[in-house]
């Protein structure tokens, strides 16, 4: 947030001089207007108008994927809609229509904060833990704010918010939903309870906490899948492998992958309920031990080896599905497993399992639709904007962050809140979220879609009103990048 000039400080209270009332504001409180506040002795505007600065660091060196081979365009700025305000429900031009030159092309960016009654968040939670049945309500403070969608690979999906929760239910449901969405989109933590399921702490970019347990890593697969992936790397170095997992524990010598590679039977007996050969459910209770179970001693899930199949000198690897825990054992003359030093070839495979288990994070995608009145702030003929976006003549961004635009009618966007500057969202008591949205296009294309050409202001003039400057997210494509537009620039 941007500091405002403070003229007078009395006993930690600061005097706001934004308007003639000249409120004294105590630490942590806001003034009579609720727009200016005292944050640690500094006067801050609660909705600072924000611009993005493209620094050299924002273009990653030697990152071939997005780099067009040109010289980094350091020093470029982009005016975001954060703190720009809105003219809703009006039919007049958006708060800022900015003209600037980029790569010798005259560009226009229309900047507005949209009031989104039709909006929500799609949340991806990297965990295999059961969080609740599909379609179960997701609640905050007892109010339904969304539902469980489905399980994706290694992740659970939630749909939160949406018009039916914001304005279709009780006043309290709408208020609680709006508050939860605002926090999630502004990267704060929200605790949700799933009907007939888990309590989950959600925060964009942070590991999920499921029923009080913080998830560290996604599993590369269940125990059985891990056997399949690594069997070939194991067969020459070990006689038996057990991959311990809360869902399915895998056993190499019994598993289809082991059979195909002619792994000898070892007569191993694993506790739990056998599913298909080499795959066991419920070898232990869920917990924070090996592979999401409550196991701390892996040998506790094995029955004693019998002379019929096992042999002295038999080598056995036990590893959890995340590779975080492992043990290497050699059977002695009495067929007792004795811990031994892990051979290098096996160490490599254990490290690979861990490497392939990516950190668990919660991802929050804001999703909203630009309604007619928002579009009317851009052009006198709102459908012209829709067509221009579909024709890739107009680029849509949220707080400068790239968006996915849904096919079909209207302008329905999704954006990763972690690509946007912090605290980019606000709310109105309707209840609805206030989200930044910018439309960027060539000046000629803006004129063609019926834009408010008289309202276009030069960049330098608008920059004078900026209250907050943020570096663009590293690696994110710059809103004016030629690749965003049909025929490039």
Partner 1 sequence: MTYERPQANRSGRRLHLSHGPINLILEAAGEAHAVEAAYQRAIAAFDELLEALVVDLPVLRKPLCGAPVSSPVALRMCAAVRGIPVFVTPMAAVAGSVADYVLAAMRGEGLRRVVVNNGGDIALWLGEGEGYRLGISDHVRPGFVGMITLDAACGVATSGWRGRSYSLGIADAVTVLARSAAEADVLATLIANSVDLPDSPLVQREAACALSPDSDLGARLVTVGVSALPDANVTKALDSGVACAQGYIAQGRASGVFLCLQGQTRVAGEAFALE
CB of residue 464 to partner 1, shortest distance in Å: 14
Given 9, 26, 260, 444, the residue binding partner 1 (CB under 8 A): 26
Q: Residues in contact with partner 1, total (CB under 8 A)?
A: 28
Q: How far is the CB of 11 from partner 1 (least distance, A)?
A: 8
Closer residue to partner 1 (CB): 171 or 387: 171
Stretch that binds partner 1, among 167-175, 262-270, 364-372, 384-392 (CB under 8 A): 167-175
Q: Which is nearer to partner 1, 21 or 338 (CB)?
A: 21
| 488 lies in the site for partner 1, by CB under 8 A | no
265 binds partner 1 (CB under 8 A): no
Residues in 48-107 that interact with partner 1 by CB under 8 A = 87, 89-92
283-318 residues labelled b (16+ CB within 10 A) or e (exposed): bbeeeebbbbbebeebeebbeebeeeebeeebbbbb
- The 174-213 site mask, x for binding partner 1 (CB under 8 A), equals -x--------------------------------------
Nearest Cα neighbor of 446 from 93, 169, 189 is 93
- Widest CA span of the chain, in angstroms? 93
Q: Does 34 bind partner 1 (CB under 8 A)?
A: yes
With beta carbons less than 8 A apart as the criterion, state whether 331 and 239 touch. no
Is 222:453 a contact under the CB 8 Å cutoff? no
CB atoms within 10 A of CB 387: 12
Within 8 A by CB and 6+ apart from 366, the residues are 119, 121, 185, 398, 413, 414, 415, 417, 420, 425, 433, 435
Instruction: Choose which of 57, 101, 150, 170 interacts with partner 1 (CB under 8 A).
Output: 170
Closest to partner 1 by CB, 88 vs 328, is 88
Q: Are 237 and 450 in contact (CB under 8 A)?
A: no
The reply to whether 380 sits near partner 1 by the rule CB under 8 A is: no
One residue of 20, 69, 70, 75 binding partner 1 per CB under 8 A? 20
Distance between CA atoms of residues 3 and 9, nearest Å:
14
User: With binding defined as CB under 8 A, does residue 242 bind partner 1?
Assistant: no
Instruction: Please give the backbone phi and psi of residue 87, each rounded to the nearest 5 degrees, phi first.
Output: -105, 5
Residue 64 CB burial class (10 angstroms; 0-12, 13-18, ≥19) = exposed
- Three-state secondary structure call for residue 434: strand
By CB under 8 A, residue 25 contacts partner 1: yes
17 binds partner 1 per the rule CB under 8 A: yes
Q: Which of 23, 227, 435, 441 binds partner 1 (CB under 8 A)?
A: 23
The residue ranges that bind partner 1 (CB under 8 A) are: 7, 10, 13, 17-26, 29, 31-34, 87, 89-92, 169-172, 175
């Amino acid at each position: 947030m941007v500091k405002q000039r403070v003229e007078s400080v009395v006993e930690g209270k600061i005097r706001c001089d934004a308007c003639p009332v000249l409120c004294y504001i105590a630490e942590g409180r806001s003034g009579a207007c609720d727009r200016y506040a005292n944050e640690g002795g500094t006067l801050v505007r609660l909705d600072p108008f924000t611009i993005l600065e493209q620094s050299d660091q924002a273009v990653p060196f030697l990152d071939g994927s997005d780099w067009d081979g040109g010289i980094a365009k350091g020093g470029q700025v982009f005016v975001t809609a954060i703190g720009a305000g809105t003219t809703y429900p009006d039919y007049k031009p958006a708060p800022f229509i900015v003209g600037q030159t980029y790569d010798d092309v005259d560009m226009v960016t229309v900047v507005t904060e949209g009031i989104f009654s039709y909006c929500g968040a799609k949340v991806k939670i990297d965990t295999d833990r059961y969080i609740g049945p599909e379609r179960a309500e997701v609640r905050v403070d007892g109010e339904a704010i969304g539902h469980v969608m489905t399980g994706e690979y290694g992740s659970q999906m939630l749909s939160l918010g949406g018009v039916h929760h914001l304005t279709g239910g009780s006043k309290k449901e709408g208020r609680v939903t709006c508050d939860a969405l605002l926090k999630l989109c502004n990267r704060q933590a929200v605790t949700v309870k799933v009907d007939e399921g888990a309590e989950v702490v959600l925060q964009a970019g942070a590991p999920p906490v499921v029923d009080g347990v913080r998830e560290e890593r996604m599993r590369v697969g269940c125990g059985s899948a891990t056997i399949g992936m690594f069997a070939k790397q194991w067969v020459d170095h070990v006689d038996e492998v057990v991959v311990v997992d809360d869902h399915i524990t895998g056993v190499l010598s019994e598993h289809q992958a082991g059979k195909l590679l002619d792994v000898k039977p070892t007569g191993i007996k694993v506790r739990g309920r056998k599913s298909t050969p080499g795959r066991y459910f419920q070898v232990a209770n869920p917990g924070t031990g090996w592979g999401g179970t409550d196991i701390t001693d892996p040998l506790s899930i094995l029955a004693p080896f019998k002379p019929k199949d096992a042999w002295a000198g038999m080598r056995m690897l036990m590893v959890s599905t995340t590779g975080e825990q492992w043990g290497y054992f050699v059977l002695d003359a009495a067929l007792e497993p004795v811990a031994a030093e892990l051979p290098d070839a096996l160490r490599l495979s254990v490290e690979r399992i861990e490497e392939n288990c990516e950190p668990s994070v919660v991802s929050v995608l804001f999703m909203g639709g630009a309604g007619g009145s928002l579009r009317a702030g851009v052009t006198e003929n709102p459908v012209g904007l829709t067509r221009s976006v579909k024709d890739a003549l107009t680029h849509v961004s949220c707080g400068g962050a790239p968006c996915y635009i849904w096919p079909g009618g209207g302008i329905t966007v999704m954006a990763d809140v972690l690509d946007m500057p912090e605290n980019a969202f606000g709310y109105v008591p309707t209840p609805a979220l206030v989200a930044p949205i910018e439309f960027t296009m060539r000046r000629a294309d803006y004129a063609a879609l019926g834009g408010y050409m008289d309202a276009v202001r030069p960049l330098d003039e608008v920059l004078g009103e900026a209250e907050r400057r943020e570096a663009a997210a590293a690696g994110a494509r710059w809103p004016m990048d030629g690749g965003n537009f049909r025929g490039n620039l």
